[in-house]
Amino acid sequence: MWPNKTARSIRPIAVSSVIAILAYFDLSIACVAQEAAPNTQVNEIEEIIVTARRREESLWTVPGSVSAFSERQLRDLQATDMRQVQYAVPNFHFQRSDSSNAAVYLRGIGQNDSLPFVEPGVGVYIDDVYVARTQAAFLELFDVERVEVLRGPQGTLYGRNSPGGAVKLITRQPTDEFEAYAELGAGNLNAKIYNGRISGPLSSDGRWKGKISLSGVKRDGYSENPVLGGSDGDTNTLSFRSGLHFEPSDNLNFALRWEGKSERPNRSLTPIRKTPLTLFPDPVGDPFNPVTYLPTEEAFGSPYVVEGTANILADLTTHGASFKSTWWFKDDWYLESITAYRRLSWDFVLDADSTPLPVLDIPVYEDADQFSTELRVAYESDSGLSFTGGVFYFNDHDIVLAGFDDASASFEFGGLFFPIISIGVPSGGYGESDQRTRSIAAFADVTFPISDTTSVEIGARYTNDEKEVTRRGEFFFDPTLSLSLDRPPFLAGIGFPSENLQDKHDWNAVTPRAVLSHQPNDSLTLYASVSRGFKSGGFPGRAFAGSEFEPFDPETVWTFETGIKGRDPENRFTYSAAYFNNDYNDLQLNGFGQDPVTGQFVSLFTNAASAKIQGLEGVASYRPNDRFSIDASLGYLNAEYEEFETLVNGVLTDVSTRRLPNAPEWTGFLGVTYSHQLTPGIAGTFHFDVAYKGDHANESSDSPNLAVAAATYLNAFVSIAASDQSWEVRVGGTNLTDKARAAQSFNTAEFSGVETAFMGAPRLYDIRLLLRFE
């Protein structure tokens, strides 16, 4: 719990720190700019129009915590995906973990399990379509108009599993005039980068417009593999986005979107060992001759060396299509519908122990289809009165076959190690989950003025989620058979079937929101809000026995927030600050252990905890003149479990002193961009940004071996471009100080005896040529 004394003292410290940083740059950079170019014009901050409340409004006046980034700002961050954006948003965590899984957290709320039985805690949306699977949520940032990050529960207007917040990617609209661009790049690790887009009218009257864009990246892996040779975790992606717009009349328009992505790397990403591991190289011929594998950094002196041999597959294919229609049937009223279909295929083999032997090799084969449709009616008037209401339907069918190879796993008895197959424990197993999710919701949100400067917003959403799950399993007792490498067919008589499991359950939730906002003038907004978020329950997706197949409950969070937003009259300086308090209940947490009776691997997924999370956030931008731009953010989190009990060595134990995953106490960001006219037709730009992320746990056991140390990250680029933006050459790099930090970790010490970590990218740099045509 955060004592009141601390709360009173930390708020002025955090806010004053941001103000002090900006004041320093206001004085020092303004003086430099005046010396260099005393007659330069004042540069206004770009105004971004967002749809955080499902209607268009200025970012500066939205009564809530929203960060938004235009296409230009994303390029300044060198953001090819959301990993670079995370550093510019306070209390935001967005990492790529095993394969393409997106581990997303906002204000300490999220989920990092990649299997589909558990829902994400932060909703990811592309063009207002919810992306259910975390593998498909790792979206590339090309052909993007803007990105919005909504912090805090989005239980009313974005109600699908968004207790922590929402990440919205809005792609570019087809343009009224012809335009095109091409981008080519090359970098370290044999990187090859290419992007392109063509957009424009398709009819002489301009009522038909279209676009198509492509993006591709190939890069060698950054982890060496001395066992197989070469590198692990290479990148080979190809993505496309297309759009078709038709406007038959001034008050009616239709938009069709189709996008997709293919990933075909040579090898999947393999974690490093953080602890020693004792295995049996030949559990059949010589079952009692163990070999100990040292931690990676101790054995090789580098965090970028792995010894996996099962990392042979990481194929991902996703497609999505949506159809949106908007009809203004009265001056202030419009009706909007969005219908979408998405499909995912994911085949993946993880060498989770990072050794040449099968102790915890995990094959996963998943196919998923989702369909959603939403119908909204909205009213907007000049008086400040607005209304949004509608219904939402979602249907998801997901089949995943996941297995494990553990022929070389061991157990300790009397100080000696023995192979687990010597006591009849299976050498491997398959588990298939066939899950169907059906969700319906109805929502309404109204904003009405109570004076010329003050308004009240009240909204609520009712959600009914139903899940039906069937699980079948099969165990294998042949240590020479590898599920990962040999891929034996499921339930073909080779192994021994386990208990068939089937169940159905539904959950209901009401998620209200109320906001009081006060705007004494056009430059200042004060607000206070209370809202509730909800994340659906489910069934454990690794269960093999009926005793493990009990449904887990939904997560819920109540959040109180108060904040301020402002700007100066010339739009040279903008700022926002917020305080929030989360009452977070029934946290869905995963862990891995060993059954104390059978010695077999078990997954521990339960509603293990409740927590209190409160914190502060500050964001500011400053443009002292037309050459400099400065952006800064600061986040503080005080996140503590109130209750948390789980199995430790087979015993139910109070572990409430652990830290919440991916909830560092401090995050900070400072970015500076300087532009200068080199010649009448050529301009130069230099940009650098510095980001800080405090030490934190990134898995639920909070193991000291897996804790992520605090780090400061430096990114920079320099470019020259034509004044008309027809061409640009840029040289840039990320993580220039080459910080080696884990993106995600697994603690399987109780079963296999090893703790592992997926490492984030090292220093990356490239040179790019951008051409624009109009």
Q: Are 664 and 713 in contact (CB under 8 A)?
A: no
pLDDT interval class at 609 (50, 70, 90): confident
Mean pLDDT (whole number) for 661-675: 97
Q: Quick check: 422 pLDDT over 80?
A: no
Structure confidence at residue 419 (pLDDT):
67
Q: 3-state SS string over 669-706?
A: EEEEEEEEEEECCEEEEEEEEEEEECCEECCCCCCCCC
What pTM value is reported for the model? 0.91
- Choice among 379-388, 530-539, 639-648 with the minimum mean pLDDT: 639-648
Q: Quick check: 11 pLDDT over 70?
A: no
The Cα 646–Cα 605 span in angstroms is 9
The Cα 758–Cα 736 span in angstroms is 20
Mean pLDDT (whole number) for 663-681: 96
- Choice among 8-12, 541-545, 704-708 with the minimum mean pLDDT: 8-12
The Cα 665–Cα 696 span in angstroms is 8
The Cα 253–Cα 329 span in angstroms is 12
What tens digit of pLDDT does each residue of 83-110 get?
Answer: 999 999 999 999 987 767 889 999 999 9
Question: Across the chain, what does the average pLDDT equal?
Answer: 89
Q: Quick check: 22 pLDDT over 60?
A: no
Distance (Å) of CA 368 to CA 133, 237, 316, 665: 8, 20, 12, 36
Q: 143's torsion region: left (phi>0), alpha (psi -120 to 50) or beta?
A: left
Q: With CA atoms as reference, report the closest residue to 753 among 444, 410, 470.
A: 410
Structure confidence at residue 280 (pLDDT):
76
Q: Quick check: 3 pLDDT over 60?
A: no
Structure confidence at residue 596 (pLDDT):
53
* Token code pair at residue 76: 């300044």
The Cα 256–Cα 366 span in angstroms is 27
pLDDT interval class at 433 (50, 70, 90): very high
Place of tokens 């386990």: 498
Find the length of the chain. Answer: 774
Place of tokens 């000291």: 704
Percent of the chain with pLDDT over 70: 90
* Token code pair at residue 704: 């000291």
Burial call 326-353: b when 16+ CB within 10 Å, e when fewer: bbbeeeeebbbebbbbbbbebbbbbbbb
What tens digit of pLDDT does each residue of 374-399 get?
Answer: 999 999 998 889 999 999 999 999 99
Q: Quick check: 200 pLDDT over 60?
A: yes
Q: Per-residue DSSP letters for 115-148? A: STTS--SEEEEETTEE---TTTT-----SEEEEE
Q: Quick check: 495 pLDDT over 50?
A: yes
Q: 3-state SS string over 454-468?
A: EEEEEEEEEEEEEEE
